[in-house]
Homo-oligomer: A and B are copies of this chain.
Amino acid sequence: MTGEPDRGRSAHSSRSLRLSRWNNLNTNEEIQRLKREAVLREAGQAFGRKGYHNTSLDDVARALGISKGTLYNYVRDKQEILFAFHQLAYDLSDRAFAFGRAQGGTGAEVLRAILAHYIELLTGELGACGALMEVDALRPEDRAEAARRRNAFEAAFVAIIEDGIADGSIRPVDPKLAVFTFMGAINWLPRWYVPGGRLTGNEVAEQMTDLLMSGLTVAAARAGKAARLPGSSARAPAA
């Protein structure tokens, strides 16, 4: 984002390496940005797992092996961190929408692509969707921007659903209700998804999308896109 990332000056590992996730850096003036990102990453993880208000910046600092004072060299305050994640979440959704629209197809196909892409991106940035639960803790100035982007996001989401209804690929539902329902499902992610766990981000994305698009009932199966599951016969437990 800040012009050239100042490449070169690579083999230079004579730095201290004292701290767990700190200080294994490359160049000297990008350090600021990288450290800031480390703070954001750690904070985001904690926000997603425990919630914004249940996470103190002392906690975050301790997790990084630094002191809180140091942390404040890289972020202005706690609310700035929260706002950064709001921005990130909406940046990711913009990417997902661009991706889905580029795919083309029926409304249902576009929506499926958007959802899968968005969910997969979010599994890599759990702090982002965790942050969306905390609109009220934002700084008042930031809240307006967050509201603007949320409204744009919801409107785009509604529009895609309406497209799908118009072209017959989505059945007539209340688009707003569908958007809220889906957003809830997605924003809940950080409360149960653990990155190294049973399911990969990609699996979660595929399966959740499938669930949201096709529901649970049998007649619904695979109306959206091509088959994905390898063995699709019911693996019924002994009844």
Is A171 part of the contact surface with B, judged by Cβ < 8 Å?
A: yes
Contact with B along A141-184 (1 / 0, CB 8 A): 00000000000000000000110111111111110011011111
Instruction: A164 to B237: give the CA distance in the assembly, Å.
Output: 11
For A186, the closest partner residue in chain B by CB is B184
- Of the candidates B53, B191, B215, the one whose C-beta lies within 8 Å of that of A215 is B215
The copy count of this chain in the complex is: 2
A170 touching B218, Cβ below 8 Å: yes
- Distance (whole angstroms) from the CB of A10 to the closest CB of chain B: 42
Contact with B along A205-226 (1 / 0, CB 8 A): 0011011111111111101100
B207 touching A213, Cβ below 8 Å: no
- Of the candidates B188, B199, B217, B235, the one whose C-beta lies within 8 Å of that of A188 is B188
Q: Of the listed stretches A25-33, A37-45, A130-138, name the one at the interface; the rest are far from the partner chain.
A: A130-138
Task: Give the B-binding residues of A (Cβ under 8 A).
Answer: 50-54, 108, 111, 133-134, 136-137, 161-162, 164-174, 177-178, 180-189, 191-193, 199, 204, 207-208, 210-221, 223-224, 229, 232-237, 239
**3 A-B pairs with least C-beta separation:** A184-B188, A215-B215, A220-B220
